[in-house]
Amino acid sequence: MSQLQLPAYLELVQTRVREPRALQRALSGRARRTIAGADGRLLLLAADHTARGMLAAGGDPLAIADRFTLLDRLMRGLAVSGVDGVMASADILEELAFLGALEGKLAIGTMNRGGIIGAKWELDDRLTAYDVTHVAAMGLDGGKTLLRIEDTDLGLPPTLELVARITTELADLGLMSLIEPLPYLKNAQGDAFLDPSEERLIKVVAIASGLGSSSAFTWLKIPATAHPEKVAATTSCPILLLGGDPGANWEQVFASWEAALVVPNVVGLVPGRALLYPTSQSVEKVVDRAVRLVHGGQR
């Protein structure tokens, strides 16, 4: 059932024209909560795909492009008991806050979205969304950075330096630094793609754990692998598992999450398309299933 009604969406559109600061006030003034709940585990919805030009889901190349539908799906997911919050770019966080969907929820601001999907410079993940100053000023609970490591890419050192600086600055403010370290490769045409190697994932997790002048507020966002205990053993930092676009492999995705969530420092999930754009079930049903994996009976 739809959570977002057309009149509310039209009010949002008109507010952008007539009283734009209302969006900022809604986000910065929302009711806050602590990062970890009673069980120390988290389920966040990821909604920062559009800021990097990633619009496809479930075989539809423009599935996420319709903002009304995206906001409705996010609001439906956030309304499921046990969902802790959302990670997104400023436009989406402000819209959700204005619509009243972020009261008492965590809001994590995505930061370096400059690596536009499919671009020749895709691995140049520059700071194009939130910066640390505005993560703090807007009352967010932390910031998320993408760290894609490809050993021949000369643009990597500035990205490493950027993520390290952001991690230090967020730690100084007592805010979560959620780092997504991923190993990448390039094909003969120079196009970047995710490296499925568990050994290389272990390497990039080790690198990410050591970034910045403090790791006290560092959390990691990584994929579930065949041997999650080996990857997680690389760090004591809390780990959230990403989702990706599962296509028809729903059961396989949930099975991999369930197996990984028994590892002590794997404490939750941060999926986006996997929960927001299910192919055969409702958003509410899929999100509730994820909640039960993460929080069990504590709702």
Q: Residue 297: what pLDDT?
A: 60
Q: Residue 37: what pLDDT?
A: 84
Write the secondary structure of the chain as one string of H (helix), E (strand) and C (coil).
CCCCCHHHHHHHHHHHHHCCHHHHHHHHCCCCCCCCCCCCCEEEEEECCHHHCCCCECCECCCCCCHHHHHHHHHHHHCCCCCCEEEECHHHHHHHHHCCCCCCCEEEEECCCCCCCCCCCCCCCCCCCCCHHHHHHCCCCEEEEEEEECCCCCCHHHHHHHHHHHHHHHHHCCCEEEEEEEEEEECCCCCEEECCCHHHHHHHHHHHHCCCCCCCCEEEEECCCCCHHHHHCCCCCCEEEECCCCCCCHHHHHHHHHHHCCCCCEEEEECCHHHHCCCCCCHHHHHHHHHHHHHCCCC
Domain range list for the chain: 6-295
pTM of the model: 0.96
Q: Which residues contact 10 (CB under 8 A, 6 or more apart)?
A: none
By percentage, how much of the chain surpasses pLDDT 70?
Answer: 98
Q: Which amino acid, one-letter code, is at 208? A: A
Tell me: pLDDT of 97 over 90: yes
Q: Does domain 6-295 have CATH number 3.20.20.70?
A: yes
Question: What CA–CA distances, in Å, run from 84 to 156, 268, 299?
Answer: 32, 10, 10
Tell me: pLDDT of 58 over 80: yes
Chain segment 156-204, per-residue pLDDT in tens: 999 999 999 999 999 999 999 999 999 999 999 989 999 999 999 999 9
**Average of per-residue pLDDT values in the chain:** 95
Chain segment 230-286, per-residue pLDDT in tens: 999 999 999 999 987 766 677 889 999 999 999 999 999 999 999 999 988 899 999
Tell me: pLDDT of 76 over 50: yes
Tell me: pLDDT of 299 over 60: no
Chain segment 205-246, per-residue pLDDT in tens: 999 999 999 999 999 999 999 999 999 999 999 999 998 776
The size of the chain, in residues, is: 299
Spatial distance between the Cα atoms of 283 and 128, rounded to a whole number of angstroms: 30
Tell me: pLDDT of 69 over 50: yes
